[in-house]
Amino acid sequence: MSSDKHGALSGILYEPDDRLPLPVSLGLGLQLMIVALSMTILLSMVVFRAGGVSEAYLVWAVFAAIVVTGATTIAQSMRMGRFGMGHTLLMGSTGTFVAVCIDALNSGGAGMLGILVLFAGLTQVVISQKLSLFRKILTPTVSGTVLMLIPISVMSPMFNLLGDVPTGRSSLAAPVIAFVTVTAICGAYLLSRGMLRLWASVLGVIAGTVIAAVYGIYDVSRVMEAPWVGLPELGWSGLSLHFGPAFWGLLPGFILAATISSIRTMSSAVAVHRVSWRKPGAVDYRLVQGAVATDGAGNMLAGIAGAIPGTAYSMAASLAQLTGVASRYMGIAAGALLVALAFLPKVIALVLAIPGPVFAAYLIVMMAMLFMIGVQMIVLDGLDYQKSLIAGVSFWIGLGFQNQLIFPDLVSEFAGGLLNNGMTAGGIVAILMTLLMKMTESRPRRLTAELNPAALTRLMTFFDEFADHHGWGQRMKNRLCAVGEEVLITLIDQYEADRDTGMRRLLVLVRKVSGGAVLEFISTTGKGENLQDQVALLSEQAEEGFLEKEISLRLLRHLAASVRHQQYHGADIMTVRVDLPKSIPHTQQN
């Protein structure tokens, strides 16, 4: 372990691949497990009680949901081909599917619900494999807005928990319990250093629970009555394969919910990736693809088992910022605890007996951090009037729908009430506004070629003609050609180790924007390092003794206004903005 890990100035103490001491893994995994367990049990009970299922099936569905949640949380912490993210990404049941799941139960029973959940999971797996096609729509602005709306979506039940105390107790009980919990968590995080910081949330929950016990709110009888070990009776009759009108009427709602859930998983994965490293770097979208694929596979498993669908939570991102721990072993511990607890009814009762005000206070701190992560994601992407408008309008519309302030009678009937969820409504608005913005952009010119040095001549001619078409002078021509040459040389160098896998095709897109041009270089994925990271790291490297490859990157950094490198399975995309030289007349820039 490097000395930087223990430095006071270092935000991250443990990166994703760093091993954690077992007590720390279990302690932090326990914090994540409590959130996933509580939300999974709560949402399962809401859906299945509203759907009028038998008690035996309800018990089985809760058990199955907990097992699937634990298994997928472990899978997210691993890398298995194109599945898994290799980071701590907590999984759990999601409110996005609640309305459509209840409709499915009322229309066709548990068998209908199972097959629709299976199709929803399959939709997510397909989205994950074609994620590069959605890159222009699912932008950091969209993802950040969705993250900001997640706390809004859970705001009502979260604050309702603040007053969740038995009748006959002191009116001061709930506010005192919540105040002690929040104060203990925030105080420990703000004032503590080193290892004590890792246990701040646990200390806060324990402090709140002790105060609750003093007020006589902690339900000990619930714990005493539960058995230590148990396996529920199989109350699941299997999938319904009768694809009648009810199935086809409900399927679009499940596909839409699956798409929104994929956006949430992407947002959560990007957020976790961004806060998990000591040195900020570009997001590896191959890992994001793995996260969405695992989410889909988990939902397919949930459909087969008769449970409700899940999604990725961003709690690990909040916890990483607060504690400095981003190790994936924390996720493995959380998943293992969930699977184990599914077979230990007494321990589940111990967790569920934590009073509502304590759990609400813990969620308030976590949701506040998550909201700010969404804000940071939008700001770091670079704010202009278009992105500001998309984020602002989407957020407030999502807030309005969440609180049923916008045409509630009409909205409640649309797609099974899907838009009653603020995250869903705001996410859809952000996507539609982004699509509208993309449609108004100038049509790009394109060039296809083989990725080899022989493409350089065609590339130079291509950029010369583009500059002539817009009336730009020789200085802009030289700048475009220099950027194109440096990117081409660097990409060829990246793929040199994979030369034996066959010739790669290169697609170059260039379009005019206000003040310059945006160039996109799209090719198949190689094994090279992320170019965006390489360019960003140049300022930290020594000024002498660099290699010829670094000279090329320095030229690119000097010539380009911005460089974005997105790596997917099957696609490698370089996006470069080139600004017009300042001496060019303003009339030619617009």
pLDDT tens-digit readout, 306-329: 999 999 987 788 888 888 889 999
Report which residue type is found at 62: V
Q: How far is CA 209 from CA 163, 219, 220, 348, in A?
A: 15, 11, 12, 16
- Burial per residue of 153-169, b for 16 or more beta-carbon CB atoms within 10 angstroms, e otherwise: bbbebbeebbeebeeee
Tell me, what's the pLDDT at 7? 38
Distance CA(224)–CA(482), nearest Å, equals 74
Place of tokens 């190689």: 526
Tell me, what's the pLDDT at 96? 73
Instruction: Report the relative pairing of strands 310-312 and 445-450 from DSSP bridges.
Output: unpaired
Structure tokens, 17: 């691949």
Using an 8 Å Cβ cutoff, are 281 and 77 in contact? no
Would residue 294 be called left, alpha or beta, if left means φ above 0 and alpha means ψ between -120 and 50 degrees?
alpha
DSSP assignment letter at 562: E
- φ and ψ at 588, to 5 degrees? -85, -15
Look at residue 452 and give its three-state secondary structure. Answer: coil
Look at residue 573 and give its three-state secondary structure. Answer: strand
Give every residue of the chain whose pLDDT is below 50, as ranges.
Answer: 1-10, 497, 500, 537-551, 586-590
To the nearest 10°, the Cα dihedral for 221, 223, 229, 231?
A: 80
Structure tokens, 528: 């090279």
Tell me how many degrees the CA angle 448-454-457 measures, rounded to the nearest 5: 75
Tell me, what's the pLDDT at 496? 60
Q: How far is CA 95 from CA 72, 530, 585, in A?
A: 18, 36, 54
End-to-end CA distance of the chain: 53
Q: In what order do the strands lie in the sheet with 445-450?
A: 445-450, 505-513, 516-523, 571-579, 562-568
Q: What is the pLDDT of residues 34-51, one digit of tens each?
A: 888 877 887 787 788 778
Q: Which domains, ranges and CATH numbers included, belong to the chain?
A: 25-435 (no CATH), 445-589 (3.30.565.10)
Going by C-alpha positions, the residue among 279, 357, 276 that lies closest to residue 323 is 276
- φ and ψ at 26, to 5 degrees? -70, -40
Distance CA(62)–CA(44), nearest Å, equals 6
Going by C-alpha positions, the residue among 249, 237, 285, 15 that lies closest to residue 110 is 237
Contacts of 262 (CB under 8 A, 6+ apart): 123, 124, 127, 128, 292, 295, 296
To the nearest 10°, the Cα dihedral for 489, 490, 493, 497?
A: -140
Tell me, what's the pLDDT at 515? 83
Write the DSSP string, 351-420: HHTS-HHHHHHHHHHHHHHHHHHHHHHHHHT---HHHHHHHHHHHHHHHHHHTT-S-HHHHHHGGGGGGG
Using an 8 Å Cβ cutoff, are 308 and 44 in contact? yes
Evaluate if pTM is beyond 0.95: no
Tell me, what's the pLDDT at 352? 67
Tell me, what's the pLDDT at 556? 66
Residue 489 CB neighbours (<10 A): 18
Write the DSSP string, 313-335: -SHHHHHHHHHSB--HHHHHHHH
Distance of CA 249 to the CA centre of its chain: 29
Distance CA(304)–CA(433), nearest Å, equals 36
To the nearest 10°, the Cα dihedral for 495, 498, 503, 506?
A: -30
Tell me, what's the pLDDT at 548? 43
